[in-house]
Amino acid sequence: MPRVPLTMPKMSMTMEFGTIVEWLVDEGAEVHQGDAVLVVTTDKVDMDVEAMTDGVLVQKLATDGDEVPVGEPIGYIESETDDLLGDLFAPGGDTPEEAGPPEVGTGPEPDAVAPAESDEVAPAPTGDALQPESEAGHPRPRAVPLARKLAQEAGIDLATVTPTGPTGTIRARDVRAAIEAAAAAPAPAAAPVQPVEAAQPATAAQAPAAPATGELLGDAKTRRMRVATAKALEASALIPQFTAYRTLDLSRLAVARKASLSGVSWTTILVRAYAMTLREYPALNGYWVGTGVQPNGHVGVALAVDTPVGLLAPVLRDPDKLSIRALNDAIKALAASVKGGQIDPDSLSGGTGTVSNLGKFGIDRFNALLTPPQATALSLGAVGPRPVFDAEASVRARIGCDVGLTIDHRVADGADAARALQTVQDILDDPFLLLG
């Protein structure tokens, strides 16, 4: 009976790896085509992986927490369904039943350093002559990119790590196990105590073990969301950025919202004005590539949405090309699907700018950070009456909103931000421009 591999699916255009969240089916259980077999995640989005045929799940190749490259097998389903692909997926031309465990060759000496010019995992070669060579002439251990990264950061020699992946591939969990084993190993004989000022920084293997999962706040999904946010903000911190603030006058629009724009939210209006402005300023809609600004062929507004598990920013593609009411409906539907935990991973990519709105929380003004490689982010405060002085120096109320435009200083200057905010105001002063 043929075995059909269950592979890590590519759930978005930018996805390279997926993390196993939970197996929904035990080994030996019967599955049917379309059944959800396990849950995987790509940073912020959890998705079900379905069986592609009827059969029995006979083997799991990855466990909860493992990171697996797209296209790699994560399990096998034994099926009586005709397999038109035959043994195409079997390593080395053998069927999974015939293929024995991979032979582990002699790895490089402990002092040998494997080259780091590529983290790609090639298909399993046959014959010793096809094994990748290190600079020392020894076979280079096969490992997924994340495993190489973890080993490099922890100072772990991959040749000392026992692989558990297909065809002798070292997985991320194998490296983590090696790090834990090194941390738990008996300490060497005590050496003379160094003065504090001369002490060397501790390596990852010498550092105390990380706190147990039970000591961390939140469930596993919440922690994954915080890790993904942390990665984005760490990259954002490397960008020279500043924020220009302005109070937008919404008086004319407040009147229009009682007539031609009745039922349209302030968020929709401001998102459309922002998108129209990005369309007018290609540099602000582009991104820095080291030698200049690369323009984007579309406008993608990422709308920051507060969800039960954390912040998500689904992208509205070319929102300035939709009618105002179509955009209003699209924003409502997108926010509802995200908060309900149902979202296409592809909708989280393609943003060329971000809108973050904290007005509903009573916040008047805040600084929105950039999301690389986007060059701008627009923060929206609460919409409401603002005291202003008229020509006679009398105070009167005016409907307004404090906004902040954060820009990548490599892409544009302060004057460009000021001009962009003036363009936003010009659009808002003419409600007919927003009708679409």
Q: Where do the H-state alpha helices sit in 257-407? A: 266-280, 324-339
| 85 Cα distance to chain centroid | 33
d(CA 146, CA 43): 14
d(CA 334, CA 326): 12
- Residue among 381, 389, 57 at smallest CA distance from 248: 381
Backbone angles phi, psi at 49, to 5 degrees: -105, 125
Minimum mean pLDDT range among 45-54, 55-64, 182-191, 342-351: 182-191
| 125 Cα distance to chain centroid | 32
Q: What is the pLDDT of residue 167?
A: 60
Q: Where do the H-state alpha helices sit in 185-308? A: 220-236, 251-256, 266-280
d(CA 285, CA 356): 17
In three-state secondary structure terms, 25 is coil
Q: Which residues are registered as beta bridge partners of 22?
A: 39
pLDDT category at 156 given cuts 50, 70, 90 is confident
pLDDT(69) > 70 = yes
Token look-up 């009682």 returns: 258
> What is the 3-state composition of the chain as percent helix, strand, coil, each rounded to the nearest 5?
30, 25, 45
pLDDT(191) > 50 = no
Minimum mean pLDDT range among 68-82, 235-249, 310-324, 342-356: 68-82
**Helices H / strands E in the chain, number of each:** 8, 18
> How many residues in the chain?
436
Residue, of 429 and 190, whose pLDDT is higher: 429
Helix H or strand E encompassing 179: helix 172-184
Q: What is the pLDDT of residue 275?
A: 97
Token look-up 């949405």 returns: 305
By annotation, the residues acting in catalysis are 409, 413
Region 357-368: mean pLDDT is 94
Structural domains in the chain, sorted by start? 3-93 (2.40.50.100), 128-210 (4.10.320.10), 240-435 (3.30.559.10)
pTM to 2 decimal places? 0.59
Region 12-23: mean pLDDT is 79
Note the pLDDT tens digit of each residue in 369-428: 999 999 999 999 999 998 888 788 888 899 999 999 999 999 999 999 999 999 999 999
Extract the tokens encoding 259: 């007539």
Q: What is the pLDDT of residue 378?
A: 98
pLDDT category at 19 given cuts 50, 70, 90 is confident
Residue, of 105 and 60, whose pLDDT is higher: 60
- Residue among 178, 150, 152, 153 at smallest CA distance from 163: 178
Extract the tokens encoding 332: 């409502």
Please classify residue 162 by burial: count the beta carbons closer than 10 Å to its beta carbon, then call 0-12 exposed, 13-18 middle and 19+ buried. Answer: exposed
Note the pLDDT tens digit of each residue in 282-317: 999 999 999 999 999 999 999 999 888 788 899 999
- Count how many Cα atoms sit within 13 Å of the Cα of residue 334 in the half-sphere of its side chain: 25
Q: What is the pLDDT of residue 289?
A: 93
Cα angle, residue 195 at apex, residues 193 and 198 outer, rounded to 5°: 115
Q: What is the pLDDT of residue 2?
A: 79
Distances in Å between the alpha carbon of 286 and those of 297, 408, 413, 421?
Answer: 9, 10, 14, 17
Note the pLDDT tens digit of each residue in 73-125: 899 988 876 544 444 444 443 433 333 333 333 333 333 333 333 333 333 33
